[in-house]
Amino acid sequence: PSFKLREVASIYFSMVMLFLIILMAALQGSVPKKTYKVPLDPKGLLELSWNISYPEQVVHFQLLIKHLQFGLLFGMSDRGEFENADLAVLWSDGHNSYFGDAWSDAMGQLHMDSQQDYQLLGARKAPKGLYLLFRRAFSTCDPKDYLIEDGTVHLIYGILEEPVHSLQAINISAIHRGLQRVQLLKPNITIPELPSDMKTMEIRAPDIIIPSQETTYWCYMAELPEGFLKHHIIMYEPVITAGNEALVHHMEVFQCAAEFDSFPRYNGPCDSKMKPDRLNYCRHVLAAWAMGAQAFYYPEEAGLAFGGPGSSRYLRLEVHYHNPLVFQGRRDSSGIRLYYTATLRRYDAGIMELGLVYTPVMAIPPGEDSFILTGYCTDKCTQLALPAAGIRIFASQLHTHLAGRKVVTVLSREGRERQVVNADGHYSPHFQEIRMLKELVAVFPGDELITTCTYNTEDRSRATVGGFGILEEMCVNYVHYYPQTQLELCKSAVDPGYLHRYFNLVNRFNDEEVCTCPQVSVPQQFYSVPWNTFNRDVLKSLYDFAPISMHCNKSSAIRFPGEWEKQPLPIITERLWEPIPRCPPTLGPRPAAPIPVNLGELRR
């Protein structure tokens, strides 16, 4: 009898455990996916919401059209063009409405896609407007479709203000249209628990009037309280003035250099001649937000230190307003809310600069479709500067100026590429944010971090050199990591002596003389180069093989001890495989014809 009792008890507890497992699985399945939202147009009449299913490799879209006329185009393209675009189209002849997956050719002519991958899930009218719900796989293996991948996505939209009788009758050059940049594939990260002693601080523009011009960068100086002790920033989020969601493009909070005892007050355009020069020493990023981004959380074991000895009390808020409709008299008090704690976490987080030094020796010839420059953080530097246990990178902010098109940083170990740290194949200098990584990247002493930038200078008539000016170029990845080390900058540039040899070679093989005299600056020498095929190819080869000058710098801008000039380029013996897009199974019926949508009669 005792054996049977034990057997029954075992079966009973097994059934209880099985029930609990099924219950937990059901609850997990019922948890709604996180939804993201962004206004598409400056007036806020079009609002996009979306969520992501990584197991299914699918994005669900919801468009709110607050004032529906005769339809809408929505889609994606390489850089926001309406030519060679992948589109979902809703159109009406006034009586009947249709939805379909379409594409545009190089002339902008629309065509119905033979493979319907934008799948309509529903359309309903509500007091706020028309809700249009549809989904799209990341990869469809349709050559006419856009591949949704990590990084920036250029979303495009067009509003149909007149009835149309067919898809082919839509003239995209005659419709009201625009673009919005977002990071569609947000990382699926668990939000850490916030401490009970957490406090908040808002760094906001003080009720300014947004200038009636398309682009404005507004600077405002703020100050921490006297005697503010060391704290950890553990989270931050945007604070947008209601009604200005479509105008506030991005914002950053910078901490000023601790070497200055005080900074002047300022509240005005960042490019104004009235802005004090000292504000240029406020460059240490504390927080950065761009349209479409959500709150930023630090890992539960780390926080960004501010306040206390060796830390400046002065902060600079920079807000980028994008006002293409040139609204007048719009007031704004947007900014960033910092969440911080006096209970310091285990690690101070640090920010390290990777990529290229800001120097004119790195240059891009004019008329280039995709010119590549690469900056190195070498094994010699990480061997010397990183702790034995290494560091963990958890976030990254990529940065170039106007010619930048792609940026990628790869971790290499013992000559073999191991992992992509961050990559953006559709990078835009007009959309920069600190992005949390999908997983921590461990970097150990002896590892190499290689940052490559691709530039387009087809619209330029002379060379673009490296530097701080907006028409000069940069190639930077600001990586956020822990624990903080003394290494603040790990970047490179071509050896100046080898560049001098390049100018001498150009002199010898070209009829036009290039002055390589010491009194002539490097930019002037580049500007005088006749950019024929030979001179372009030789410059590319120079950057591919010439020794580099390494900047392995502490926060004091002093290099770590060692020999850093004429260092050999890292040798990579094994490259990462390019990811192959996964062709998903059919997500349901995909008719090759447009789907009728019951919206009733539409009128002007």
> What are the boundaries of each domain within the chain?
36-186, 189-345, 351-579
Higher-scoring residue by pLDDT: 6, 510: 510
19-28, 215-224, 404-413, 435-444: least confident range: 19-28
Has residue 183 got a pLDDT over 90? yes
- Encode pLDDT of 119-145 as tens digits: 999 999 999 999 999 999 999 999 999
Has residue 269 got a pLDDT over 50? yes
Arithmetic mean of pLDDT, 228-246: 94
| Beta bridge pairs of residue 136 | 59
Q: What is the pLDDT of residue 587?
A: 52
* pTM of the shown model: 0.85
Alpha-carbon gap, residue 338 to 178, rounded angstroms:
32
Arithmetic mean of pLDDT, 512-529: 80
- Enzyme catalytic residues: 217, 399
In this structure, whether the domain defined by 189-345 belongs to CATH 3.40.50.1110 is answered with: no
Alpha-carbon gap, residue 461 to 367, rounded angstroms:
7
Alpha-carbon gap, residue 288 to 220, rounded angstroms:
15
Q: What is the pLDDT of residue 197?
A: 94
Q: What is the pLDDT of residue 604?
A: 61
Instruction: Answer whether 189-345 and 351-579 agree in fold.
Output: yes
pLDDT band at 376, cuts 50/70/90? Answer: very high
- Encode pLDDT of 71-97 as tens digits: 999 999 999 999 999 999 999 998 899
Could you tell me the fold of the domain covering 351-579? Jelly Rolls (2.60.120)
Alpha-carbon gap, residue 9 to 331, rounded angstroms:
70
Locate the DSSP E strands across 215-334. 215-223, 231-239, 248-255, 267-269, 284-290, 296-297, 302-306, 314-322, 331-332
192-196, 359-363, 454-458, 569-573: least confident range: 192-196
Radius of gyration from C-alpha coordinates of the chain:
27
82-91, 114-123, 188-197: least confident range: 188-197
Q: What is the pLDDT of residue 137?
A: 95
Strand-strand pairing, 548-554 and 363-364? unpaired
What count of other Cβ atoms lies within 10 Å of the Cβ of residue 600? 10
Arithmetic mean of pLDDT, 463-470: 89
- Encode pLDDT of 32-72 as tens digits: 478 999 999 888 889 999 999 999 999 999 999 998 889 99
Question: What token pair was written down for 600?
Answer: 């009733």
**What percentage of the chain reaches a pLDDT higher than 70?**
91
Question: What token pair was written down for 43?
Answer: 């007036």
Segment (H or E) for 28:
helix 2-30
Q: What is the pLDDT of residue 16?
A: 39
Q: What is the pLDDT of residue 28?
A: 37
Arithmetic mean of pLDDT, 23-34: 44
Has residue 9 got a pLDDT over 50? no
pLDDT band at 518, cuts 50/70/90? Answer: low
Arithmetic mean of pLDDT, 224-251: 92
Higher-scoring residue by pLDDT: 212, 249: 212
- Encode pLDDT of 156-173 as tens digits: 999 999 999 999 999 998
- Encode pLDDT of 573-598 as tens digits: 999 988 877 776 655 555 678 899 98
176-180, 271-275, 511-515: least confident range: 511-515
Q: What is the mean pLDDT of the chain?
A: 89
Alpha-carbon gap, residue 202 to 337, rounded angstroms:
4
Tell me the C-alpha to C-alpha distance, in Å, between residue 131 and each of 51, 125, 290.
Answer: 15, 6, 25
Which stretch, 185-189, 387-391, 597-601, has highest mean pLDDT? 387-391
Arithmetic mean of pLDDT, 524-529: 92
Tell me the C-alpha to C-alpha distance, in Å, between residue 555 and each of 3, 328, 382, 478, 565.
Answer: 72, 43, 15, 14, 20
Alpha-carbon gap, residue 559 to 384, rounded angstroms:
11
Q: What is the pLDDT of residue 15?
A: 46
Contacts of 382 (CB under 8 A, 6+ apart): 443, 444, 445, 446, 447, 448, 449, 487, 490
Q: What is the pLDDT of residue 164?
A: 93
Q: What is the pLDDT of residue 555?
A: 73
pLDDT band at 22, cuts 50/70/90? Answer: very low
In this structure, whether the domain defined by 36-186 belongs to CATH 2.130.10.10 is answered with: no
Q: What is the pLDDT of residue 31?
A: 37
478: helix, coil or strand? strand
Alpha-carbon gap, residue 85 to 179, rounded angstroms:
12
Has residue 271 got a pLDDT over 60? yes
